[in-house]
Amino acid sequence: MTNVLVSGAVKRFGRTRALDGASFEAGPGITGLLGPNGAGKTTLLRVLATVMSLNEGEIRVFGRDPAGHRDRLEIRRRLGYMPQEPGFHKNFTAFEFVDYVAILKEMTHRRTRHDEVHRVLVAVGLEGAQSKKIKALSGGMRRRVALAQALLGEPELLILDEPTAGLDPEQRLRFRETMSHLGADHSIVLSTHQTEDVAALCSRVVVMNHGRNLFSGTPRDLAELARGAVWLSEERAHGARLSYRTGEGRYRNIGTAPDGADQVDPTVEDGYLTLLGDEAFVEAA
Amino acid sequence: MGPGEEHSDQELLRAISDGAHAALRELYERHAPWLLLRLQRRSPDPQLAEEAVQDTFVAVWRTSATFSGRGEVAAWIWGIGIRRLIDRMRRTQRFEPLPEGRADVVVSAEDQVLLGVEFGDLAGALSRLSPELRAVVQATVLDGLTTKEAAQLLGIPSGTVKTRMLRARAQLRGELA
Amino acid sequence: MIWHVSSDLLERYARDDVDAPQAFSIEAHLLSCEPCRANTTRLVDVDLLERLWSEVRSQISAPPIGSFERVLVRLGIKDYTARLLAATPSLRRSWILAVAAVLLLAVAVADRVAHGYLLFLTIAPMLPLAGVAAAYGPGIDPTYEVGIAAPMRSFRLLLIRTTAVLATTVALSFMAALLLPGFDWKVAAWLLPSLALVTSSLALATAMHPLWAAGTVALAWIAVTGTGAFLALGKLHARDIFGSTMQIALLCVIAAALTTLMARRDGFEKGDHQ
């Protein structure tokens, strides 16, 4: 059962094309949207969240077209959106902010609304901090507040824009835990430029760059793209596209493997770097 | 607060002052049941007692820092609870006299001995007071209310509370002397 | 503690099946005996306790209702609408004080300068415009993006806020206008301009960024009053400029703006303002 279907999406901002014929599909479970900064991930997610419209192309969420006024309303009732940089009203506490969004989500009955606000704050582990002002919370906790508001009303579809950005490893682990609980009952689309998130969480992944698709499949399939192109060596391999020193002291190389090289199983990251091509290696070097 | 650790009521109050919801929940679990039972016995309407219990713990949350540290937390909670009940009663303007005159129940011999140890002849003397006199004794002595608060709880004028207390004292003194 | 309350006695107490001295005794005892208190827990209905706790929790977490919201609720506004209004930047005390200050300044100037009243008439209608522009929109309302994605109609939120800001500013302007020398038509001449500026700004906002819309309308107004001032340097009096002709013209503008606004209000739901 596909919840989201996008094909041939084009979105222009002035002269730039943020989306240039992108396609996307998501069903139950967690689908990752992977790509470097500026790939068009945020734009695509904004379009999915019905915050923006397409210039060209087709999009269906829950089988409905968001261009239609009534359909758009229906879609919005069933989705939760966590923007990349959520803004907060000054001086709001975590509870007050989520409560405010709950009102925007049409929860007008005070008691039920408060119970729901409490439920989502517990779900993200912020029960103890709900009375603290947002400006007094750490970056990781603010992200959790942003995630909490997306969970209000138990939406069928969750759209999360770079939810792990700026989190330290411990926070990222905790986030993954929360995600795997949620992934059981919700359809989740999350964007990231961290391959570890994809490897750990996603059942499907779409790779994007320059507003276009580069890949769509499972994380395993993505890793397999680099099969035979990853090997270890004692010294830096100068013929490789990328050669870096690992913690164990050997060098991990991606590129055209010389004969007899000590090949290793490729990771999702290897596949991703291979896919991005020279661009990625310029960045990574 | 770590799981599996037993915290005293005092410690819970301190945690509440720091904004820990879990501490209030723990305090609630320890004290809401007996508070509800005790307030129900003074309230003309069970719903008022329930609302008073709610108000009490909201008040505990807000004023936890004002606990002096002396005496039992339970007694402090009671002081808040009974006054919240009086507030509720005043708001709903109910001034019916409380149900009086329970038929005395046969107490087991063991209980009678134990109660006697706790209060001596006082138990007997108390049961011989008329219901109205007993009510003011309960309100002022047991519940710790002022004359004015007792008057509000019982729905009688303050002056009547005073005269009844005088009569009760006289009678008890006479019996116990 | 030399004795504890037996379970049997406690159950009877819970059923209200004990006499007064027993009750006294039990209650006094419970205040200082933790194990006996623990025994009362099972005597109270679990669901009842949960329900009461849920209410407690809701109350302690709930945002404290500010005095501003209380006033609104007293006026008959729903509590959740009042919450939305409380989050409007241009309804904050600081903003209102700023508006009041500007108005008082304009009044003071009107008193001392020839044709100073023209200044008041120019400034007063722009204040609600500024207030509305600062109440909603991308870049202004930090929760704009989340708000667009939410089902509640953004247009509704905009209307609620606009009405509140307009009401507040109009009230302040009215009070300031009463301070103007001479109790005459001047007291209300700024009202229609205020409404016209706000409605046309909203109508324009269906086609462009709200701040651009507000700016355009403000400039247009300044052009109008500037021309009027220029003409007044000649022989015309302020009354002639702001008199019935202009007021009627303004009514037409308001009507046109409202029609456009209602026809194009879906534009606010799209969120494509950049």
Q: What's the ipTM? A: 0.79
pLDDT, one tens digit per residue, over B135-153 is 998 898 888 889 999 998 9
Q: Which carries the bigger pLDDT value, residue B121 or residue B166?
A: B166
Residue B63 has pLDDT above 50, yes or no: yes
Q: What is the pTM of this model?
A: 0.74
* Residue A224 to residue A83: CA distance in whole angstroms: 32
Q: Quote the mean pLDDT of chain B.
A: 82
Residues A169 and A123 sit within 8 Å (Cβ to Cβ): no
pLDDT, one tens digit per residue, over A231-251 is 988 888 887 888 888 888 888
Question: What is the average pLDDT across C66-79?
Answer: 82
Residue A257 has pLDDT above 90, yes or no: no
pLDDT of res. B105: 39
Chain A contacts in chain C segment 140-159 (CB below 8 A): 141-152, 157
User: With contacts defined as CB-CB under 8 Å, which chain C residues touch B25?
Assistant: 53, 57
Chain C interface with B: residues with Cβ < 8 Å: 2-3, 6, 8-9, 12-14, 16-25, 27-32, 34, 37-38, 40-41, 43-44, 48-49, 52-53, 55-57, 59-61
User: If you measure CA to CA, which chain B residue comes closest to C41?
Assistant: B33
User: With contacts defined as CB-CB under 8 Å, which chain B residues touch C4?
Assistant: none
Number of neighbours of residue B118 by Cβ within 10 angstroms: 16
3-state secondary structure of C124: helix
Q: How far is C66 from chain B (nearest CA, A)?
A: 16
C233: pLDDT confidence band, cut at 50, 70 and 90? low
pLDDT, one tens digit per residue, over C145-192 is 888 888 877 888 888 888 888 888 888 888 888 887 766 666 777 888
**DSSP at B105:** P
Cβ neighbors of C239 (< 8 A, separation 6 or more) are C185
- The answer to whether the Cβ–Cβ distance between C44 and B36 falls below 8 Å is yes
CA B57 to chain centre: 15
pLDDT, one tens digit per residue, over A149-197 is 999 998 999 999 998 887 888 888 888 888 888 888 889 999 998 899 9
Question: What is the average pLDDT across A135-143?
Answer: 86
Question: What is the average pLDDT across A101-105?
Answer: 91
Q: Is the CB of B61 inside 8 Å of chain A's CB atoms?
A: no
Number of neighbours of residue C78 by Cβ within 10 angstroms: 12
Task: Tell me, letter by letter, the H, E, C secondary structure of chain A.
Answer: CCCEEEEEEEEEECCEEEEEEEEEEECCEEEEEECCCCCCHHHHHHHHCCCCCCCEEEEEECCECCCCHHHHHHHHHCEEEECCCCCCCCCCEHHHHHHHHHHHCCCCCHHHHHHHHHHHHHHCCCHHHCCCEHHHCCHHHHHHHHHHHHHCCCCCEEEEECCCCCCCHHHHHHHHHHHHHHHCCCEEEEEECCHHHHHHHCCEEEEEECCEEEEEECHHHHHHCCCCCEEEECCCCCCCCEEEECCCCCEEEECCCCCCCEECCCCHHHHHHHHHCHHHHHHHC
Against chain C, the chains showing at least 3 CB pairs within 8 Å are: A, B
